[in-house]
Structure 1
Amino acid sequence: MWPELQSIFAKLSDGAPRLYPVAGILLAILIYLKLVAVFDDRLPALIITLVASVAWVSVSSSFTDPRHHR
């Protein structure tokens, strides 16, 4: 795993839900930049990044939603 991602997930595991949106944005930027380097094209990188961002929002909102905590 990339060191940048490890530091983001380490901060998230400290239990700071307010960092979820910030980490999601940083994660989306990192994913996009890595995918542009892999594909040498912006469109597939943008599509994959958007899908990953939607997944991140749905997962992080389920963590921060008080209805899921008992």
Structure 2
Amino acid sequence: MRWVGTTDKISGKANEIAGKTKQAVGKATGDNATRAKGAVQEAKGKSQTAKGNAKDKLKDAVDRM
């Protein structure tokens, strides 16, 4: 069962998408603060996704024991 990290992965992807959107809006409007906030949010999303993947791998390893 691979539900352990699913919430983290979904939240991570949502933050990545929102961050990329903010960066695009900031670039289009010339707003460097919005671009920076978008970059931070995207990075947060990537770390959440990685956390979810790590949880899944740990669960798989425990299940194989």
Q: TM-score range by the shorter chain?
A: 0.3 to 0.5
How high is the TM-score relative to the length of structure 1? 0.44
Query: Which one has a bigger Cα radius of gyration?
Result: 2
Structure with more contact order per residue of length (Cα contacts < 8 Å, sep ≥ 6): 2
How high is the TM-score relative to the length of structure 2? 0.47
